[in-house]
Amino acid sequence: MFGLFVGHFGMQHGRLIFELPSNWKAKVYEACGGSWRKRQMVDLLRRQLGRKAFVRRRDTPFDSNEPWLQNALSVHADGSVHAIVSTSAEPKPGVLRLDDLHDGTEQWRTTRSLNVPRTTEAMVDAVRVLLGYSQRVRFVDPYFNPNKRRFTDNLNAFLQACGKLRGKNVRCEIHSSTKPGQSAAYFERQCRERLRSPHGVRVVRWQARTDGQDFHDRFILTDIGGVKIGHGLDHGQGRDSTTTFSLLERETWAELQGRFDDARVYDLADECRVAAVERS
């Protein structure tokens, strides 16, 4: 059971653990009773998975007078979770037993790479859970242009989705590159006029170094995981245009985060901040 959780949960696997109730760890400790070994296993599980595999919502109702499974079924019914793993002997819709946890079970199976229509709605929907539960989000697109609505339409929709499932503020950033004819003052003015974020947003431009790492690929990087986006963060102009969203392995995600933590890989050109506006 321990190995199952460690090897199959985390954003890189397309599965997260919903903490129900929000004081889940305390409740698990309580259920362990006086067994120190069981408590050690719980702590080891959390360390192995890391905080990134666990998500919670402050407003999730939990009736302590009802069994845990009944509460979980209520959360499943409102669409907050995809499935429930339980050792309950009674089969119920949406509940998976241990022997159901394989790729032959539709509710367990995940997709790590997906072709997505390049419409604003479809692209936001593909990362809604990632954005909704993250505390820090970096949108990385070296070709981002605040003068182009195909970029700002999408970025504004992405920014609206950030933190929406957690109900808390999110640290949002856009990382791009310098372009001929776009001075720092001009770029900042365009960003402030066209970007709309309920959290505010930091916009950073980088300059690739001669003989250094190319700045080409596009990503959404968050504190719980990330995705690579094949074409870019903008929406398509053709009716049948699609792009590929791919979940990042944990090691790749960590290396990419490091590129934008400081000026180790690229040279910092300029940055600006866009103030928060009320969520639409």
Q: Where are the domains of the chain?
A: 2-100, 113-274
Residue segments in the chain with a per-residue pLDDT below the cut of 70: 1-6, 25, 28-29, 31-34, 38-39, 45-46, 48-51, 89, 280
Confirm if 182 and 144 have CB atoms less than 8 A apart: no
User: Which CATH class, in words, describes the domain spanning 113-274?
Assistant: alpha beta
CA 30, 165, 175, 212 dihedral sign is positive
Which pLDDT does position 59 carry in this prediction?
78
Sort 170 into a burial class: Cβ within 10 Å, 0-12 / 13-18 / 19+.
Answer: buried
Which pLDDT does position 89 carry in this prediction?
65
Which pLDDT does position 67 carry in this prediction?
87
**Rounded Cα gap, residues 202 and 17, in angstroms:** 30
**Rounded Cα gap, residues 175 and 186, in angstroms:** 16
Backbone angles phi, psi at 115, to 5 degrees: -85, 125
Which pLDDT does position 264 carry in this prediction?
86
Task: Please report which helix (H) or strand (E) contains residue 274, including its range.
Answer: strand 267-274
Q: Please state the separation of Cα 72 from the chain's center in Å.
A: 22
